[in-house]
Amino acid sequence: MTEILGLYNYWIVIFLMMTGFYIVIARENLIKTIIGLNIFQTSVFLLYITMGKVTHGTAPILKASHGGESHGVEGHGADHGHELHVAAEGHVDLGVDAVKEVYSNPIPSVLMLTAIVVGIATTALALALVVRIREEYGTIEEDEILEMDRNS
Amino acid sequence: MMDFIVIPILALLAATAVTVARIRNLWAAVMFTGIYSFLSASWMLILDAPDVAFTEAAVGAGITTILMLATLSLTPRRQRKSGRLSSEDFEERPSKSPLVPLLIVTITGCALVYGTFDMPHFGDPNAPIQVYPNPSFVEKSQPDMHGLPNVVTAVLASYRGYDTLGETAVIFTAGIAVLLILRKNTDDQSSSESQSVTGENA
Amino acid sequence: MNSFPIIRVITKLLIPYILLFGLYVQFHGDFGPGGGFQAGVIFAAALILYGLVYGLPAVHKVAPPKVIEKLTALGLLVYAGTGLACMLLGGNFLDYDMLNHGFLTELPAALDFLPGDKPHHFLPEGQHLGIFLVELGVGITVTAVMTMIFYAFAGRERVTT
């Protein structure tokens, strides 16, 4: 049961990914293919974001603190000593409020943020190519285009 | 509690993706893609990535949909004499037997699912991605950045500044490429206009 | 779209708020969710909305294609120029700590009469200034590229076969 609860996010992402893959390989309309690529791409974003989530974590925007000293700690595993140290310091500074915040990982967010914008740029390029293909060949069906290429 | 929100969103995501795969009307497929992007943005928000959710909602549900609709309006299957097009002019042809692609997709999907059994569980704070690189950079970022609280912006613009410069260059290049592909007509027009203007002056 | 008065009026009402929200996302991106990429897309969305409802000539008057083309390059130059400025000031490329300055970082004495809390940083410096400039560059490029792509698609005439 824990196996299922721990992994179902990945399975959903894989399902979405495979749906996008299916659209890309099974459909011969160029616009439909681009839609499939988009769905595949979004599922990759979701995969990364899913991996960055920490249970009971919050968005990686640090709470405002006094004098630039941060009390935010992310993750539990690596540096236990340092974590305790910060928590103790927070206790001195803020008293009861110094509850340790857990932040989700910001690195997948950063990677996917740039990937989304680059993705729209490449999608726009692909759509521009589709428009030009339609003007040259009069169709956006892949097999008809290949047929014309063979006959010419 | 959160599951009551997450499970319907995931179910809707899966249903939308399957609908996009099955539907033959391209207008409807494009609209469903917008819905898909919006649903995934909602899920990203739940997964603590507000910056990404924000971008996905604006880019995926907004600009991509508009660009795809613009492309569709430029690529009807046939031109009616009256000039008005109906939705039938934007239908795909029925596809051939879907059995072989379905088989490939199923095999690939099963292989990937088999791969997930070794993955760290969802939300595990001791997963490798949380432990390496050393997570203390999150707390160090505040003194480094003079108290700017958004770590995502700090990593994006400062720690990984080179990378973002490269991404900006990619967007710039893509914009130039779209112009090169699509702007031929207007360029001819403007050059002929300028010629005629200079001709009049002469 | 000329025959839909509701859409025209609502668009006119919405666009100032979309632009304002874009500015907020751009310049508040260091403190909350947001940044150059998102702000650029939101700004471009406002221009595209205007173009969709009022037609391409109207939006060409607001944001002429010639200007937009130059802005795409300008944003990238702002980004790279920030990096080069850091090098000229003696640091590495994109090493924002070199941008530290002592000019107006505290509230000037002449403004002491202002009521309320005194701002801690009057002008941004160092890392903050660097991030500000870099995000500005990203925002300009993304706005301009998205608008330019929309112009390119919308200006294309449907071919008859």
Which ipTM did the prediction report?
Answer: 0.85
Task: Give me the architecture of the A1-53+106-152 domain, per CATH.
Answer: Orthogonal Bundle (1.10)
Q: Rounded CA gap, C142 and B172, in Å? A: 8
Q: What is the pLDDT of residue A22?
A: 93
Nearest CB among B98, B149, B174 relative to A121 is that of: B174
Nearest CB among A113, A116, A128 relative to C152 is that of: A128
Average pLDDT over residues A63-78: 44
Nearest CB among B121, B136, B167 relative to A117 is that of: B167
Partners of residue B67 in chain C, C-beta under 8 Å: 149-150, 153
- Tell me, yes or no, whether C159 lies in a domain: no
Which one of B79, B152, B160, B185 would you mutate to disrupt binding with A, by most A Cβ within 10 Å of its Cβ? B152
Partners of residue B84 in chain C, C-beta under 8 Å: none
Q: Which domain holds residue C65?
A: 5-154
At residue A18 the predicted structure's pLDDT band, cuts being 50, 70 and 90, is: very high
Q: Rounded CA gap, B74 and B126, in Å? A: 51
At residue B160 the predicted structure's pLDDT band, cuts being 50, 70 and 90, is: confident
Which of C134, C161, C109 minimizes the C-alpha distance to C27? C134
pLDDT digits (tens, 9 = 90+) for C12-39: 999 999 999 999 999 888 888 888 889 9
Q: What is the SS3 string spanning chain A? A: CHHHHHHHHHHHHHHHHHHHHHHHHHCCEHHHHHHHHHHHHHHHHHHHHHHHCCCCCECCECCCCHHHCCCEECCCCCCHHHHHHHHHHHHHHHHHHCCCEEECCHHHHHHHHHHHHHHHHHHHHHHHHHHHHHHHHCCCEHHHHHHHHHHC
Residue B72 has pLDDT above 70, yes or no: yes
- Tell me, yes or no, whether C62 lies in a domain: yes
- Return the domain boundaries, chain A: 1-53+106-152, 61-104
Partners of residue A117 in chain C, C-beta under 8 Å: 37, 41, 142
Q: Rounded CA gap, C145 and B171, in Å? A: 7
Average pLDDT over residues A117-139: 90
State the smallest CA–CA distance between residue C122 and chain A in angstroms.
Answer: 16
- Tell me, yes or no, whether C161 lies in a domain: no
Average pLDDT over residues B129-154: 77
More confident residue, C114 or C70: C70
Domain count along chain C: 1
Partners of residue A131 in chain B, C-beta under 8 Å: 71, 74-75, 181-182
Q: Do C33 and A120 touch (CB under 8 A)?
A: no
Average pLDDT over residues C138-157: 91
Average pLDDT over residues C85-93: 87
Q: Do C29 and B150 touch (CB under 8 A)?
A: yes
- Tell me, yes or no, whether C23 lies in a domain: yes
